[in-house]
Structure 1
Amino acid sequence: MTDRPARLAVGVVSAGRVGAVLGAALARAGHHVVAAAAVSTASQRRAEALLPEAAILPPDQVAERADLVLLAVPDDELPGLLRGLIATGSLRGGQIVAHTSGAHGSALLAPAAELGALPLALHPAMTFTGRPEDLQRLVACPFGVTAPDGEEIAWNVAEALVVEMGAEPVRIPESARALYHAALAHGANHLITLVAEAADLLRGAGVADPGRLLGPLLSAALDNSLRLGDRALTGPVARGDVGTIRTHLGVLRAQAPESLSAYRALAHRTAERAVASGLLRPGQAEAVHFELDEEQP
């Protein structure tokens, strides 16, 4: 790649679950992780396991030593961290400054760009444990990459770094970054909540190992939905089985009222999507919506 040095000195701020793994992936690709910030005991252990050649230093000293400064901190911490690095003179022209936040694009790094740094957003679309096995999971993982509009060299550098880590870059324009992240959070985070609630309900029904029931069912549902979209919808809402829905609402009200509002909201949305995809007739959907609203306290 002619747009950047063949071997970069990488600084990781900080060695959390994401930063430590991405740093290790960059090292595997031939770059040199020279330093990492690691405050907590857990992050220090991650750095020792995944970034054994990195010096453990404060964030400003990590950035000073790096050609590529990888900012892997929670979304809300990024602006303050960036201001601090600039205030201490730790960033300079010619560096690559990349963050791993899904919620932000490269525009957040504009203060670094004003110094002459190359700003990139590199967001891996997977969950991390911070353990070595994440490196294998990173292979072929999609990354949402964003660089400044119209700066093709920056886009190329972002894509090259992702490819070197064995992953797959997907271009996300700055203007679409918030919607991109909302989609991923809505799908992944709320899926976990939904599965956990289903498991709780099964335990309430006396099932000692909910995973034995949910595993095959949910795996098939996820596979079908990714391949078929709304055509994969099944169940009482998609069939317009109002009597079954009424039974569900009654038992949830009596035994798991904390799950009732989520059931209603998802059932309403399922009915709307079932109509739009032709699975449910409008008249049937009207009866479903009426039943769901009728049960309101």
Structure 2
Amino acid sequence: MTAPRLGIGVIGAGRVGAVLAAALRSEGHAITGTYAVSDASVARAEQLLPGVPLLEVADIIERSEMLLLAVPDDQLGPLVAGIAATGLSPGGQLVVHTSGRYGTDVLAPLAAVGSATLAIHPAMTFTGTRDDLARLVGCPMAITADPTFLPVAAALVVELGGESVVLPEGDRPLYHAALAHGANHLVVLVDQTLEALSRLGIEDPGAYLRPLLEAALEESLRRGAKALTGPVVRGDAGTITAHLEALDDLDATGEQGRTGDTATTYRALARAALSRAGLPPDTQRRIRALLDEPTQTEER
């Protein structure tokens, strides 16, 4: 038996909202309208959701059986409060948000007027293009909802192509912090590495790094800290000293207006590696003393 098709309104046509709406549209749901503010969001909506009208929030609420709220975390609470204050949200409307940080407590004002509330967070980075539609297939998605509505959340995840993981409300902050730390901070680490190699004159530092980084990521996902290699794990204090001197010089001669922070990042991550390396206490103390010395940037 085919599940009933919904009229879905999208509030927030950013990278996430527009892509998820396109995926649900491909499953036969009708997108009743989108709310987009920036020029980039308008262009994205026109590309991914051709023919779908751009509407004000009040019009979307009135036209829709389901609201998809895909806005930045800090905007979600005020948006929900504003929708509730209008009195336009009918009882029985389905309201879904895509924030990783929040569960359904943030949607309480709408639950109070009879809405069924769900939190669905895909654990992937979105580009806001059609390429994301294929990447949704098999993507883990954290769902939080009242037990009554968990089957609805799971069904939507299936239609999006993902794999649902039930996450309690109280676990959301740590869950989101873990994903942000792993994905967002990885980008910073790679960017710092690319900058260092570029300064050496390597024409395509991304291509140079790719085999090393792909192998390191694959091994770390499979083995965790057991995949650690390098001078910290070996207890090679001389190499660490040379690294710190080179990175201090890199930061001191960085691009004008840009804070040199690679040495500071290296020290912080090396300390974390040291705590996982299992070295003898004397070796640990010697390396920790090196890492605790202030960087040239900190001394200035």
- Give the TM bin, normalised by the shorter chain: over 0.9
SS in 2 for 1:206: coil
Q: Which residue of 2 is the match for residue 117 of structure 1? A: 115
Which structure 2 residues correspond to residues 35-54 of structure 1 after superposition, within 5 A?
A: 35-54=33-52
Contact 1:201–1:256, Cα closer than 8 Å, also in 2: no
Structure 1 equivalent of residue 265 of structure 2 = 262
Structure-1-length-normalised TM-score? 0.93
Give CA deviations for 1:196-251 in whole Å, capped at 9, x if unaligned: 00011111222121112211100000000000111100000111110100101111
Q: Secondary structure at the match of 2:127?
A: coil
Distance of 1:204 and 1:281 partners within structure 2 = 36
Structure 1 vs Structure 2 CA RMSD? 1.6
> What does 1:148-187 align with in structure 2 at a 5 Å threshold?
151-187=146-182
Q: CA deviation at 1:187?
A: 0.5
User: Given the alignment, which residue of 271, 275, 292 partners 2:274?
Assistant: 271
1:65-84 CA deviation, whole Å, 9 max, x = no partner? 11110000111111111111
Structure 1: gaps spanning 5 or more residues: none
Aligned to 1:101: 99
What is aligned with 1:82?
80
1:295 is displaced (CA, Å) by 5.4
Q: Which residue of 2 is the match for residue 61 of structure 1? A: 59
Query: 2:174 and 2:37 mapped to 1: Cα distance?
Result: 32
Cα distance, 1:246–1:90 mapped onto 2, change above 3 Å: same
User: Which of 207, 213, 217 lines up with 2:202 in the alignment?
Assistant: 207
> Distance in 2 between the 1:64 and 1:270 partners?
54
Query: CA separation in 2, counterparts of 1:53 and 1:255?
Result: 51
Specify the SS of the correspondent of 1:128. Answer: coil
Deviations 1:104-142 (A, max 9, x none): 111100000001101111111111111111111111111
Letter in 1 for 2:188: T
Which residue identity lines up with residue 293 of structure 1 in the other structure?
D
The percentage of counterpart residues that share the same residue type is 52
CA distance in 2, matches of 1:44, 1:265: 41
The range that moved more, 216-225 or 35-44, is 35-44
Which residue of structure 1 lines up, in the alignment, with residue 255 of structure 2?
none
Whether the aligned pair in 2 keeps the contact of 1:122 and 1:146 (CA below 8 Å) is yes
| 2-structure distance, mates of 1:32, 1:255 | 54
Partner of 1:141: 139
Q: Residue 30 of structure 1: CA displacement?
A: 1.8
The 3 A distance-change label for structure 1 pair 291 and 100 is: same
Q: Report deviation, 1:37.
A: 0.8
SS at match of 1:169: strand
> What's the CA shift string for 1:23-57, capped at 9, x where partnerless?
01111122111111123222222222222242211
Match of 1:189 among 162, 179, 184: 184
Aligned mates of 2:37, 2:202 — CA distance in 1: 42
Q: Counterparts of 1:29 and 1:261 in 2: how far apart (Å)?
A: 48
One-letter identity of the residue aligned with 1:265 = A
Aligned to 1:73: 71
The superposition leaves residues 237-275 of structure 1 with CA deviations (integer Å, 9 ceiling, x where unpaired) of: 111110100101111122324211111111001100222
Identify the residue that residue 225 of structure 2 maps to in structure 1. 230
Return 5+ residue gaps in structure 2 as ranges: 253-259
Of residues 11-20 and 45-54 in structure 1, the stretch that sits farther from structure 2 once superposed is 45-54
Distance 2:291 2:45 in 1: 51
1:281 paired residue number: 280
Counterpart pick for 1:246 among 241, 250, 256: 241
Instruction: Give the Cα–Cα distance (whole angstroms) in 2 for the partners of residues 169 and 53 of structure 1.
Output: 30
Aligned length: 288
Residue in structure 2 matched with residue 17 of structure 1 by the alignment: 15
SS in structure 2 of the partner of residue 146 of structure 1: strand
Separation in 2, partners of 1:39, 1:201: 38
Query: CA contact under 8 A between 1:159 and 1:169: conserved in structure 2?
Result: yes
1:123–1:143 Cα contact (<8 Å) kept: yes
The whole-number CA distance in structure 2 between the counterparts of 1:180 and 1:59 is: 30
Structure 2 SS opposite 1:55: coil
The farther-off stretch of 60-69 and 214-223 is 60-69
Query: What whole-Å deviation, never above 9, does each CA across 1:144-164 have from its counterpart, x for those lacking one?
Result: 1111xxx32211111110111
Write the letter of the residue equivalent to 1:82: V
In 1, distance between residues paired with 2:276 and 2:94?
A: 44
